[in-house]
Amino acid sequence: MNTQMADRVPVLITGGSLVGLSASLFLGRLGVPHLLVERHAETSRHPRGRGNNLRTMELFRGAGVEQDVRAAASVLADNHGILQAETLSGGEQEWLFREIDPGGGLARFSPSSWCLCSQNDLEPVLLRHAAERGDVRFNTELLSFAQDADGVTARLRDRAGGEEREVRADYLIAADGPRSPVREQLGIGQSGRGDLFHNVSVTFRAKRLAEVVGDRLFIACYLTDPAGAGALLPVDNREEWVFHLPWHPERGEAVEDFTDARCAAHIRAAAGVPDLDVEITGRAPWHAAERVADRYRAGRVFLCGDSAHEMPPTGAFGSNTGIQDAHNLAWKLAAVLDGWGGPRLLESYGAERRPVAVQTAARAAARSVEHQHPGFDAAPAGGPRTNVLAVALGYRYTEGALVGADATAGVIPERFAATGEVGTRAPHLWLRDADGARLSTLDLFGREPVLLAPVAGGAGWPEAARAVSEQTGVPIRCLLVGEDGDLVPEPVPDLPAGPRPAGPSGWPTVYGLREGGAVLVRPDGFVGWRAGSSVGDPVAALRVAARGVAGL
């Protein structure tokens, strides 16, 4: 880890949990010098949020850490599904869903897959990689900050030695949690339904509980017997476990009321085993809420993760949304600091991410109702259940650093479909490069805008990309796809579930292209502009697209 504290950095991050560490990881990958400070002395010890969805794993893939994350998650690699039962040893039980990806069908949509990795296992992986690329300081807190037209001045304190020093940054990312001191100082309000329900998360050891669970290797089990209501989550499938007990502060309950004896008795009732060995090892209260900040930016300060939004844990939408916030912001900061991003680019961060958070928080609350999450007394409303894939991969931007987005489209669709429309994540397809190496289309994106065009009718696009890059300063990499092109697509499966025609020539249809068309994909893998077919003046059309994507 870098041991030199910088007096001046382009980006200062406050908060070193999942989102702050991810921001550091993404900025470091883009070569942006930065400093991260975290007031705690170490990463989380509590096995909290564990579900990393397809999109988050794609981002970790792009950052070069996916395999390390999967290695850290290996102990829970065989756990699937959400079980609901009266007690663990009782006869009444129902799988709310049995498999995240039954039949492996999601492979047609992504080069990655879901990963169950608890926060206490994930954070050390992110910290290790982030510290290789940036200055990461734990046990260091942000005391105060002030901003002006040219930057942010922050006062930091080393909590171990008490030393204080001043750091000047071009931008500040506040990933400092739901009670964000930075958001409070900025006077940014929040909207939403507020607190929905409360739980106390209890970690414990019980060596005999694995015998009761048997071969039901679940992600979580919701227990409904009133004496043992709550959610049981495995940590190692052997003797380490977590139990979420409903907590009702509105009835006068305090966290201190959850004594070791009370928690152990509750867990025994949930298991249906009166003499179960239970050793309580820790407890942490948490609040399920639906809140979104009214603004994501104030001058040179940006809110990210829980400081920007809170949502119930059902579906694991909260941490994933926060990590995806960090990815969206990182490439935009890098573009501005590199000189090719304009002032409107940073404004697009909130314009794009806030509507996603509002809709995702609502879906998370709906899913908590659908699953009858312990402690949440809301009655099911009926109608279709929340489609998790639509939330994870299907969300779209209807305004922001885009040209030609459909402003009337829903931010989250009812069902996921890879269409290649402006504002959506670029569809995944497998390709071969000139050396025969296999890569996903998603592997092409990350550092600069990429222009993809079919070989047939695409002869004018490389020249247009070069001309527009020279005119605007926006680095555009043009790739022709097809036989004798820069990349050769593998045959696209002929699947009834989406616009995937068979044969190597099918890839343009997946991206909504005809002969002579092209698509400009942003560094975050979202389609920024699309010409469905040939245009009269490729340079003029692409110049408008480049300026829109770069915020010029």
Using one digit for the tens of pLDDT, what is the confidence trace for 181-215? Answer: 999 999 999 999 999 989 999 999 999 999 999 99
The confidence score (pLDDT) of residue 266 equals 97
Question: d(Cα 81, Cα 162) in Å, to the nearest integer?
Answer: 47
Q: Which of 95-99, 266-270, 322-326, 419-423 comes out lowest in average pLDDT? A: 95-99
Is it the case that residue 3 has pLDDT exceeding 60? no
Bridge partner list, 284 = 201
The confidence score (pLDDT) of residue 380 equals 57
Using one digit for the tens of pLDDT, what is the confidence trace for 500-533? Answer: 433 344 789 999 999 899 999 999 999 999 999 9
The type of residue at 254 is: A
Please list the alpha-helical segments (H only) found in 371-518. 388-393, 460-472, 507-510
Q: What is the dihedral of CA 215, 216, 219, 220, to 10 degrees?
A: -140
Q: What is the mean pLDDT of residues 442-458?
A: 95
Name 199's Cβ contacts closer than 8 Å, sequence gap at least 6. Answer: 230, 231, 244, 245, 246, 247, 285, 286, 288, 374, 375
The confidence score (pLDDT) of residue 91 equals 79
Bridge partner list, 135 = 35
Q: Which two tokens stand for residue 100?
A: 């995240």
Question: d(Cα 354, Cα 360) in Å, to the nearest integer?
Answer: 10
Q: Which of 5-9, 170-174, 250-254 comes out lowest in average pLDDT? A: 5-9
For residue 36, give Cα distances in angstroms to 16, 173, 174, 284.
7, 9, 10, 25
Global pTM reads 0.94
Name 262's Cβ contacts closer than 8 Å, sequence gap at least 6. Answer: none
For the chain, what percentages of helix, strand and coil (3-state, to nearest 5) are there? 35, 25, 40
Using one digit for the tens of pLDDT, what is the confidence trace for 281-290? Answer: 999 998 889 9
- Contact status, residue 476 vs residue 448, Cβ threshold 8 Å: yes
The overall average pLDDT reported for the chain is 92
The confidence score (pLDDT) of residue 97 equals 87
Using one digit for the tens of pLDDT, what is the confidence trace for 102-119? Answer: 888 899 999 999 999 999
